[in-house]
Amino acid sequence: MRNSPAEIKHSANRPLPVRGGVIAAALCFFLSAAPASAGGPGSAGLQVLKSDISPRAMGMGGAFSAIADDLYSMNYNPAGLGQLYMPEASALYLSGFEDARLSNLAFAMPLPVKGFAGIAKPGMGMSLMMSDAGSFRSRLINPNGTISERSYDAQKDMVLTVGYGEKVYSEDVKFEGYGFKLDQYVGVNMKYLDSTLLEDYAASAFAVDMGWLAMDPKLGLAVAASFSNFGTGLKYDKELTKLPSILRLGVSYQRPTVMDQSLLLAAEGDFYTAESPQKSIRVGLEYHFEKIFNLRVGYKSEQDNPGLTMGLGLRYEDLSLDFATGAGSEVYNTSQISLSYKFSGIIIKERPKKAFKDPTPQKKEQLNPAPAPQKKTGSPRDKKKESDFIWLY
Helix (H) or strand (E) holding 198: none
Among the listed residues 241, 321, 298, the one whose alpha carbon sits nearest the alpha carbon of residue 64: 298
pLDDT of residue 151: 77
How many Cα atoms sit within 13 Å of 271 on the Cβ side? 10
321, pLDDT greater than 70: yes
The mean per-residue pLDDT over the stretch 242-256 comes to: 94
- Show Cβ contacts of residue 30 under 8 Å, excluding neighbours closer than 6 positions: 133, 136, 154, 155, 197
**Secondary structure letter of residue 192 according to DSSP:** E
Give the model confidence (pLDDT) of 185-218 as tens digits: 999 999 999 998 877 888 899 999 999 999 998 8
- Least reliable range by pLDDT among 28-37, 39-48, 76-85, 279-288: 28-37
Phi, psi of 328 (to 5 degrees): 85, 20
Q: Give the model's confidence band at 287: pLDDT under 50 very low, under 70 low, under 90 confident, else very high.
A: very high
- Least reliable range by pLDDT among 122-126, 167-171, 259-263: 259-263
Which one-letter amino acid corresponds to residue 152?
Y
Residue 351 lies in a domain: no
Identify which has the larger pLDDT, 98 or 387.
Answer: 98
Q: What percent of the chain stands above pLDDT 70?
A: 76
- Show Cβ contacts of residue 224 under 8 Å, excluding neighbours closer than 6 positions: 65, 66, 68, 77, 79, 211, 212, 213, 214, 248, 249, 250, 251, 252
How far is residue 5's CA from residue 98's CA, in Å, rounded to a whole number? Answer: 17
pLDDT of residue 357: 61
Identify which has the larger pLDDT, 174 or 367.
Answer: 174
Alpha helices in the chain (DSSP H): 20-31, 55-59, 380-392
CATH of the domain at 34: 2.40.160.60
Q: Give the model's confidence band at 183: pLDDT under 50 very low, under 70 low, under 90 confident, else very high.
A: very high
34, pLDDT greater than 60: no
Q: Give the model's confidence band at 379: pLDDT under 50 very low, under 70 low, under 90 confident, else very high.
A: low
288, pLDDT greater than 60: yes
Quickly list DSSP for 283-313. Answer: EEEEEEETTTEEEEEEEE--SSS-EEEEEEE
- Show Cβ contacts of residue 353 under 8 Å, excluding neighbours closer than 6 positions: none
How many CB atoms sit inside 10 A of residue 327's CB?
Answer: 14
How far is residue 65's CA from residue 144's CA, in Å, rounded to a whole number? Answer: 58
How far is residue 260's CA from residue 354's CA, in Å, rounded to a whole number? Answer: 12
Q: Give the model's confidence band at 177: pLDDT under 50 very low, under 70 low, under 90 confident, else very high.
A: confident
Contact 27, 195 (CB under 8 A): no
- Least reliable range by pLDDT among 19-28, 75-84, 182-191, 288-297: 19-28
How far is residue 82's CA from residue 205's CA, in Å, rounded to a whole number? Answer: 27
pLDDT of residue 277: 64
8, pLDDT greater than 50: no
25, pLDDT greater than 90: no
The mean per-residue pLDDT over the stretch 118-141 comes to: 88
Domain that holds residue 57: 2-8+22-342
Residue 127 lies in a domain: yes
The mean per-residue pLDDT over the stretch 1-15 comes to: 38
7, pLDDT greater than 50: no
pLDDT of residue 258: 86
Q: How many domains is the chain partitioned into structurally?
A: 1
How many Cα atoms sit within 13 Å of 222 on the Cβ side? 33
Residue 109 lies in a domain: yes
Residue 390 lies in a domain: no
Q: Give the model's confidence band at 179: pLDDT under 50 very low, under 70 low, under 90 confident, else very high.
A: confident
Average pLDDT of the chain? 81
Quickly list DSSP for 259-282. Answer: TT-EEEEEEEEEEETTSSSEEEEE
How far is residue 39's CA from residue 265's CA, in Å, rounded to a whole number? Answer: 29
What predicted TM-score, i.e. pTM, was given to this entire model? Answer: 0.78
Residue 375 lies in a domain: no
pLDDT of residue 393: 32
Residue 88 lies in a domain: yes
**Secondary structure letter of residue 377 according to DSSP:** P
How far is residue 231's CA from residue 49's CA, in Å, rounded to a whole number? Answer: 13
pLDDT of residue 191: 97
Quickly list DSSP for 364-381. Answer: PPPSSPPPPPPPPPPPHH
How many CB atoms sit inside 10 A of residue 182's CB?
Answer: 15
The mean per-residue pLDDT over the stretch 351-366 comes to: 59
Among the listed residues 115, 77, 118, 3, the one whose alpha carbon sits nearest the alpha carbon of residue 246: 77
How far is residue 342's CA from residue 106's CA, in Å, rounded to a whole number? Answer: 12
Q: Give the model's confidence band at 358: pLDDT under 50 very low, under 70 low, under 90 confident, else very high.
A: low
Residue 387 lies in a domain: no
Q: Give the model's confidence band at 235: pLDDT under 50 very low, under 70 low, under 90 confident, else very high.
A: confident
